A = this chain, B = another copy of it.
Amino acid sequence: MKKVSISDIARKAGVSVSTVSFVMNDKAVKMRISREVITKVENVAREMGYRPNQLARGLRTGKTKTIGLIVENISNAFFACLAKTIEDEAKKYDYKVVYCSTDNDEAKARDLINMLSQRQVDGYIITPTLLLADEIRKLQAENKPVVLIDRYFPEHAEIPSVLVDNYGGVAKGMEYLFSKGYRKIALVTIEAEMAHMHDRLQAYYDILNKHGVTPDDRLIKWVPYGYVHEAALEEVMDFLSTRRKEFDAVFFLTNYLGVLGIETIKKFNIKVPEEMAVLCFDDNDIFRLYTPTISVIKQPIEEIGQKAMLALIERLRHTGTELPPDNTNLKLAAELVPRESI
């Protein structure tokens, strides 16, 4: 059983392919096709189980009604959730999304953009890697709209972005720690050079200074990027166990690091919050269910997805016309969710 095409229908209904096309695209009235021909064609199409070939359509129109979503890792809870909102949101605008993971690998990211470009997606939502800016500029030059999520390029404000207010979020967390009387605050972060992590770190320094505490680099643990789980866990365990006595609170700068922290705390049976208060950037089911429950700075995932989609759709509508100059660089407020760990 072969697929049925528009000309199969035309033959069976005894009309031309153009007529069928008009009917299938609701342009029949505009093209003054008679009522009877319309219903005839509709019936034949239904009987034969016609499904328009989107490749042919896309080739002709230059629009695929598809957007490409590139995230770091789709199996990570944060990105999986983000992907789901974006998928749902896209459907509202009648777009389909195809997603893929970079694993934070520059070459892979380039390949993915390449692949999506070959598949003629209409626009992109991208969690960029460090060196991806020029590749993204190329897309823009080809008139393909791009919106960044989660990360951004401060030196490229012309690339729209939607992300949490990283600085504000960490600042909020730090203030909370100070308000509870903690002053010796350790930090566990990742050796990523992207601006969003830099912003988080800066907030840590700034709020310490604001409260007259001199930052102590020995209280900062840098976990190298790209470690396998076990190696990263090792690093965190080592840090928390050896420096344990030197601080009274620890702030994990990412979801993933927080999970490693929990594994460590569990293993060394550290009393939270008595021995060590714990705060983490970005929520996770585990933090809600662990004993004690872990306080977090929560990202507005759904809002990020919605706003990013909205920004993209706007640009999608404006392609062809001169680009709208409203550079969207949104930073959405993070929420402090106080639980038992602090």
Contacts and interface: CB of A to CB of B under 8 A. Distances in A.
Contact of A266 (B2, B77, B286, B291): B291
A114 B51 contact: yes
Interface in A34-85: 49, 51-56, 58-59, 64, 66, 73-77, 80-81, 83-84
A191 B221 CA distance: 47
A340 to B, nearest CB: 11
A157 interface: no
Given A1-B142, A55-B55, A96-B115, A289 B259 contact: yes
A321 interface: no
Contact of A289 (B52, B56, B286): B286
Please tell me how many copies of the chain the complex holds: 2
A268 interface: no
A263 interface: yes
A101 interface: yes
A114 B238 CA distance: 53
Contacts of A143: 1
Given A59-B59, A286-B285, A286-B289, A84 B74 contact: yes
B3 A142 contact: yes
A100 B80 contact: no
Interface in A268-321: 285-286, 289-291
Given A74-B80, A75-B80, A83-B74, A118 B52 contact: yes
Interface residues of A, number: 48
A20 B138 CA distance: 24
A84 B59 contact: no
A284 to B, nearest CB: 8
B74 A77 contact: no
B266 A285 contact: no
Q: Which of A51, A66, A119 has most B Cβ within 10 Å?
A: A119
14 contacts: A1-B142, A3-B142, A53-B118, A53-B120, A54-B120, A75-B81, A76-B80, A96-B100, A96-B115, A96-B119, A266-B289, A285-B285, A285-B286, A286-B286
